[in-house]
């Protein structure tokens, strides 16, 4: 799989301001992806287990998905899943699929630090925008995003398509 990270990126993203002994870098190996499972499951409770999670990550990497995590030693305390996309509406953009901080580390500014890193990655990748979705009912997340300079611009419509077994 070819990386979508810009050529000027030299290896994993490291936080320019490491807070205490925490480091922000991509989860690349299967062990690192596995270390992200419990934090991701707190945001996405429908994930069944680490195997299901790893399989999804593997498929999504084929669509330029990346996992950026805050590491404290070998433990993940926060993460952001994102991908590079391009469409007629936004041009080239960075789409944030997932942004979550473990419950015990909320209010420590890790969500803000991840957004800063994503902003830097998007700018270095010649993206015109950073885009994400959040539920209309998630007022806490909406306030967080407004505080960090994100604006609302659309309402997403969807239709559940039930696939019947053959």
User: Domains of the chain (ranges plus CATH)?
Assistant: 22-147 (3.40.630.30)
Tell me how many helices (H) and strands (E) the chain has: 4, 5
Q: What is the pLDDT of residue 20?
A: 62
Centroid of chain to Cα 103: 17
Q: What is the pLDDT of residue 83?
A: 97
129: Cβ–Cβ under 8 A, 6 or more apart, which residues? 90, 91, 93, 94, 122
* Per-residue tokens: 29: 């190996």
pLDDT tens-digit series, residues 103-145: 999 999 999 999 999 999 999 999 999 999 998 899 999 999 9
pLDDT tens-digit series, residues 85-113: 999 999 999 999 999 999 999 999 999 99
Residue 74 · residue 35 · CB < 8 Å: yes
pLDDT tens-digit series, residues 11-40: 444 444 444 689 999 999 999 999 999 999
pLDDT of 3 > 90? The answer is no
pTM for this predicted structure: 0.83
pLDDT tens-digit series, residues 57-77: 999 999 999 999 999 999 999
Helix runs in the chain, H state only: 30-43, 50-61, 110-124, 139-147
């Amino acid at each position: 799989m070819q990386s979508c990270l810009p050529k000027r990126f030299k290896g994993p993203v490291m936080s320019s301001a490491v807070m205490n002994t925490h480091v922000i870098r991509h989860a690349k190996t299967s062990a690192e992806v596995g270390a992200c499972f419990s934090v991701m499951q707190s945001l996405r409770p429908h994930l069944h287990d680490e195997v299901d999670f790893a399989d999804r990550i593997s498929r999504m990497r084929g669509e330029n998905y990346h996992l950026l995590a805050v590491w404290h030693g070998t433990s993940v305390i926060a993460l952001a899943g994102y991908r590079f996309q391009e469409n007629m509406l936004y041009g080239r953009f960075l789409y944030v699929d997932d942004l979550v901080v473990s419950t015990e580390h909320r209010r420590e500014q890790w969500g803000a630090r991840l957004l800063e890193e994503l902003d830097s990655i998007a700018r270095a990748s010649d993206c015109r925008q950073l885009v994400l979705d959040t539920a209309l009912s998630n007022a806490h997340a909406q306030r967080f995003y407004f505080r960090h300079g994100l604006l609302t611009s659309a309402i997403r419509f969807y239709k559940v398509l039930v696939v019947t077994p053959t």
